[in-house]
Structure 1
């Protein structure tokens, strides 16, 4: 999935997402006060940490957030129901992605990347309390990648990046749907 981050007409950012199914969507950013776009932080963090059910993995799977708009392409006939089911099934993962991407974003924004692993670990403990699911190297990679993308953003005002095909949120099976062959009578 191709994602193009660019300046919007409002002074913020907009991420134009070209999904594999031919649908093109725009995700507006609300980050005029930041040097580094928040959605870029989601992209770098979720990709580096392998978060498939975060913002961009959910979009790749067919999720459409309420603030997104269709630019082109023809969505599936059941796209709205699938999106709702997908986003509902991944609420916890989306919340976790928001938290972790926010911490990485802040570390890069405030030039504290040397502390990013400790900051993400602390955030994880407050969120879940279980064993930390990522290596220090992955967390560092998220911050380094975001810093590199931020430098490209500052230099060019646009960032073009690919979301991995294998980092897509799983589509939950609809409730009440029976799978398999019907019994013969």
Structure 2
């Protein structure tokens, strides 16, 4: 993995990272916003301590542990990645409430075109802020965006000590099972 100096990471601040998306995905994973490592590399969930890639594999969404640089392969599994807020920051607490709300509105409009079967928001706090749902909990939500159902998953950041990789994988696995039970293919045969 490439090592970046603090100056190189700071230079990535506010950069945009392209979504990994296609129309009609089984599950579109939605992070809060890109971190500086993600912005510097151009690969989602690139910080070594982030547990997204290991949990994706442990939960059965991917047949092997993938590297962030292999993010494009997710499309072949019917999976994609976007963010609530596109702007890269060092920490999510650098985002304003207005950025979350605007990000939620923009995401909702994108979903009408992309039409994924499931939107999986990674972080209950981000979901609450973006969609003004103060009582949301981890798990399936009542809210839909057209035919897109919503599931809130734990934030895979290494800073989220409330969830282990194993307990996160269980919750990701619940989503995978729900999608499969709807007849959605979420893993290649």
Q: Normalised by the shorter chain, which TM-score bucket? A: 0.3 to 0.5
Q: Which structure has greater helix proportion?
A: 1
TM-score, normalization by structure 2: 0.34
Task: State the structure with more CA Rg.
Answer: 1
TM-score, normalization by structure 1: 0.34
